[in-house]
Every structure is written in structure tokens, then in C-alpha cells.
């Protein structure tokens, strides 16, 4: 499947949203990369760079020395709006 970077960001955020990973509830980055890379032709490095971009934009929060991520509850409305706008 060929997804643009924006669609890939929305997919990552949506996966975390469906699992209710807000604030103190987090998900390992390795697991997230494995799930998403199955969808986009085994491209784990691209997924990791997208996750880093989301952290820099403030949508995700890193935990446990960068090994886990969660959604930023302070930006919940923006995250939900972003997902609605760009999900395929």
C-alpha cells in the first residue's frame, strides 16, 4: 500500500487512539513500528522517522527513555481532528 506521510501519521495516531494510549498509558515503539510496517511494504525506518516527527510536533509523548509512546492528552482535540481529516 502506498500511503503519504500525512496518511501514515494519521494511521499511527488512530492506532494509538483505538487502544486508548493517552498520557500514562503507553505502547512500545517496536510494536507500533511492526504493526504499521506490515501495511506499508515493510518500511520500518520510515515509520520510525514519522514517529519522531509526531513527537517533535507535540502529538506524541515519549516514555521509558524513548522506547514507548503515548498520545499527548493536552492536544486531544487536535489529534482527533487530524485523524478525521486525513484517514483514508
Q: What's residue 37's pLDDT?
A: 83
pLDDT at site 38 = 80
pLDDT at 14: 94
Q: Which of 19, 22, 12, 14 is nearest to 54 (CA)?
A: 12
Quote the pTM value. Answer: 0.90
The residues that bridge with 68 in the sheet, in sequence order, are 28, 63
The HSE-up count of residue 31 (CA atoms within 13 Å, CB side) is 10
Beta bridge partners of 17: none
End-to-end CA distance of the chain: 12
pLDDT at 39: 76
Topology adopted by domain 5-73? Arc Repressor Mutant, subunit A (1.10.10)
pLDDT per 10-residue tile (average), the chain, 88 residues: 84 94 92 85 82 95 93 95 87
From 7, 23, 5, 6, select the one nearest 76 (Cα to Cα).
23
Can you name the residues that pair with 28 across neighbouring β-strands? 68
Amino acid at each position: 500500500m502506498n500511503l503519504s506521510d500525512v496518511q501514515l501519521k494519521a494511521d499511527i495516531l488512530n492506532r494509538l487512539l483505538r487502544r486508548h494510549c493517552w498520557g500514562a498509558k503507553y505502547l512500545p515503539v517496536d510494536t507500533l513500528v511492526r504493526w504499521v510496517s506490515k501495511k506499508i511494504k515493510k518500511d520500518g525506518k520510515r515509520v520510525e522517522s514519522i514517529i519522531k516527527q509526531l513527537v517533535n510536533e507535540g502529538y506524541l509523548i515519549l516514555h521509558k527513555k524513548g522506547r514507548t509512546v503515548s498520545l499527548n492528552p493536552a492536544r486531544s482535540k487536535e489529534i482527533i481532528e487530524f485523524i478525521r481529516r486525513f484517514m483514508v
